[in-house]
């Protein structure tokens, strides 16, 4: 008994001829798509430097939704690349050994022979199964992407404009809270018509002739159900899902979707935790991190920090100072410094609203208001040089080339002797709300920044 390849099929031959193109496309897209998560993380970091906590949630959610779609696409292309390569190998094996498995020449136990033959083991059956998986992968993937995409449309075409409009009319309301409330109201508004349609037409379940007896109610049910169907992109999702439902058990489909969606969210969360340093592998048992006054953090130095890198820490031009002044820049962090100013300096007037601002509403205030804001920000920090308190004059500025906004001062060091020196920046005690915002910042909640330099 032999296991041979099936009869030639023009459609199958065309599919076999396309494998090279499929592998090239999958390989190219894998390489290209692997660059995108880093770009999104970089974009998110740049936004973090310019937005308050209330406003930041909107671009954060947009990028998070993009990553929810992106990671499954990368995984699917990678899996497709491997499986299609495996499929090509099976085709090559079938071409080299056209007779397939010759059971007469194999010395196996009778039980093994009977078992293998009962399950139809062979290259053609394995080739067909792998090809079926490859053909189904993208349908499964895009069914999940369509779900995320429909939620994204609801978020950014409905919830976002409405919440921004409300916050523009009522500036005291937080955009993030509005955004969340409006989204869930909109989601309920989209799902409710479907539930109402099923309730109106519940008689169809018991009486096959109900539809002909209640045509007006049926049409109302169609319209209500159709609203949810089209609003959630059911015209794209339903053909895929109904095909799978008719081919597989519903429990299997639900398990596969749950595993995939849970896996995607888990990968993104793990990536976030790794980036924040909450999870990692570390064997530096006797190496303090951070080293504080006994170490130096490269993020404190423009010359050591990667170009255009996002930073939230005080910084100077270099670890080796050849200039007569140390250029000290302290970033302004809207997520922390906005509540600081509001509580420590309640008399300081803001120059614009938090969030969407029209050009004609922007204001630079008068010199007194600008000076009051600058003095308030400068008062957040106590600065010491080699243990001696100093009170330098600050100016508002934007750090080049990162465009991070903050305050800048120049500390004279020309009279210092050659050798190591230490610049110490201590944050003043904060009131309750600002303390809470500081805690959210994680590692940047440390009170003291130590910046050693050499002259």
Domain that holds residue 76: 10-275
283 in any annotated domain: no
Domain final position from 275, 310, 336? 275
Contact 376, 420 (CB under 8 A): no
Q: Give me 256's structure tokens.
A: 């596969």
* Whether residues 149 and 30 fall in one domain: yes
Q: Contact, 281 vs 437, CB < 8 A?
A: no
For residues 312 and 49, is the Cβ–Cβ distance under 8 A? yes
CA-only gyration radius of the chain, Å? 32
DSSP string, 327-380: EEEEE--HHHHHHHHHHH-TTPPPSS-SS---GGG-----HHHHHHHHHHHHTT
Q: What is the pLDDT of residues 73-120, one digit of tens each?
A: 888 888 888 888 888 888 888 888 877 787 778 888 888 888 888 887
Residues 347 and 249 in one domain: no
Residues 112 and 239 in one domain: yes
pLDDT in the model for residue 222: 93
- In the chain, how many domains are there? 2
Residue 129 has pLDDT above 80, yes or no: yes
Q: 328 with 444, same domain? A: yes
CA distances 341 to 155, 176, 311, Å, are 32, 21, 21
- Confidence label for 420 from pLDDT (cuts 50, 70 and 90): very high
Residues 269 and 310 grouped into a single domain: no
**For 286-340, how does the pLDDT look when each residue is reduced to its tens digit (9 = 90+)?**
888 777 888 899 999 999 988 767 788 899 999 999 999 999 999 998 878 888 8
Domain identity same for 253 and 333: no
Among candidate residues 275, 305, 324, the one where a domain is terminated: 275
For residues 192 and 328, state if they share a domain.
Answer: no
pLDDT tens column, 14-33: 555 566 666 777 777 778 88
- Within a domain: residue 2? no
| Residue 179 falls inside a structural domain | yes
Query: In 3-state terms, what secondary structure has residue 214?
Result: coil
Domain-ending residue, one of 275, 304, 338: 275
The answer to whether residues 442 and 312 belong to one domain is yes
For residues 214 and 324, membership in a common domain is answered with: no
Residues 257 and 321 occupy one common structural domain:
no
31 belongs to a structural domain: yes
Q: What is the spatial distance between Cα 226 and Cα 244, in angstroms, rounded to a whole number? A: 21
Indicate whether 195 belongs to any domain. yes
330/412 same-domain check: yes
| Residue 76 included in any domain | yes
In a domain, 311, yes or no: yes
Q: Does 264 lie in the same domain as 340?
A: no
């Amino acid at each position: 008994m032999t296991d041979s390849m099936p009869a030639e099929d023009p459609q199958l031959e065309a599919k076999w001829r396309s494998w090279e193109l499929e592998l090239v496309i999958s390989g190219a897209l894998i390489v290209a798509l692997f660059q995108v998560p880093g770009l999104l993380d970089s974009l998110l970091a740049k936004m973090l430097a310019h937005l308050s906590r209330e406003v930041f949630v909107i671009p954060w959610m947009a990028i998070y939704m993009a990553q929810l779609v992106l990671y499954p696409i990368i995984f699917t292309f990678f899996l497709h690349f491997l499986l299609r390569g495996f499929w090509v190998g099976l085709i090559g094996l079938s071409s080299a050994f056209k007779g397939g498995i010759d059971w007469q020449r194999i010395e196996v136990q009778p039980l093994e022979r009977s078992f293998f033959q009962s399950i139809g083991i062979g290259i053609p059956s394995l080739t067909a199964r792998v090809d079926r998986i490859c053909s189904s992968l993208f349908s499964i993937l895009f069914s999940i992407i369509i779900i995320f995409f429909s939620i994204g449309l609801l978020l950014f075409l409905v919830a976002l404009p409405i919440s921004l409009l409300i916050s523009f009319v009522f500036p005291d309301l937080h955009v993030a809270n509005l955004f969340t409330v409006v989204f869930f109201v909109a989601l309920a508004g989209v799902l409710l018509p479907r539930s109402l349609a099923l309730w109106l037409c519940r008689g169809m379940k018991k009486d096959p002739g109900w539809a002909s007896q209640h045509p007006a109610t049926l049409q109302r049910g169609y319209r209500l159900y159709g609203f949810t169907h089209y609003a959630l992109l059911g015209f794209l999702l339903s053909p895929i899902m109904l095909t799978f439902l008719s081919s597989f058990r519903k429990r299997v489909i639900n398990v596969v979707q749950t595993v995939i969606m849970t896996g995607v969210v888990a990968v993104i969360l793990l990536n976030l935790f790794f980036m924040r340093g909450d999870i990692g592998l570390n064997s530096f048992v006797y190496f303090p991190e951070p080293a504080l006054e006994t170490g130096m953090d490269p993020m404190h130095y423009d010359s050591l920090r990667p170009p255009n890198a996002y930073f939230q820490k005080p910084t100077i031009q270099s670890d080796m100072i050849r200039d007569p002044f140390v250029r000290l820049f302290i970033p302004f962090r809207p997520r922390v410094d906005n509540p600081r100013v509001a509580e420590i300096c309640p008399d300081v007037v803001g120059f614009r609203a938090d969030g969407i601002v029209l050009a004609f509403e922007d204001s630079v205030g008068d010199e007194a208001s600008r000076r009051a804001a600058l003095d308030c920000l400068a008062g957040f920090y106590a600065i010491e040089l080699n243990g001696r308190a100093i009170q330098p004059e600050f100016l508002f500025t934007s750090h080049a080339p990162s465009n991070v906004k903050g305050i800048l001062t120049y500390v004279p060091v020309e009279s210092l002797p050659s050798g190591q020196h230490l610049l110490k920046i201590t944050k003043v005690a904060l009131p309750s709300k600002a303390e809470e915002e500081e805690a959210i910042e994680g590692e940047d909640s440390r009170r003291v920044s130590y910046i050693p330099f050499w002259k």
